[in-house]
Amino acid sequence: MSPSVFLYGVWRKINVHKSKLLCVNVPDEEISNTALVLGCGVEKFPMMYLRVHVGSNMCRCGYWNCIVQKFESKMSRWKARILSVRGRLSLIKAVLGNLPTYYMSLYWMTKTVQKRLESMRNRFFLGGDLDGKKFT
């Protein structure tokens, strides 16, 4: 059996080309040598895992930008003009209920990000542009 193939159980194989080695408090030289022997890559903190930042300081507003950008893309200006009040309310409930939930199950959301999302929600509900001051 080659060193690049791991067997899990009897029939299952781990794909080492997709796998990455992540170590904490281990010298970089030792990590790279081990990864070379195993035939996999090396990963360092901070990293993305299941679209969530791991090893990052989530108290910084910058790491929440992906949630804010997704929120902005779901609540665009043309949707505010086309949808009725009930339609806007349904969209707000769906977007606010689903987008940040996974992140908030792992990290605390900062007050700044919370206020920004609430401001965007209010502006969208009133039919306004998320960037400007116009209301429909």
Q: Residue 13: which pLDDT band, with cuts at 50, 70 and 90? A: confident
Q: Determine the angle formed by the axes of helices 111-125 and 65-74, rounding to 10 degrees.
A: 0
Indicate if the pLDDT at residue 31 is higher than 80. Answer: yes
Please compute the mean of the pLDDT values over residues 25-51 and round it to a whole number.
87
pLDDT tens-digit profile of 113-133?
A: 889 988 888 888 887 655 555
Residue of 104 and 8 predicted with greater confidence: 104
Predicted pLDDT of residue 1: 46
> Looking at residue 130, what is its pLDDT?
55
The model carries a pTM of: 0.61
Cβ atoms < 10 Å from Cβ of 39: 14
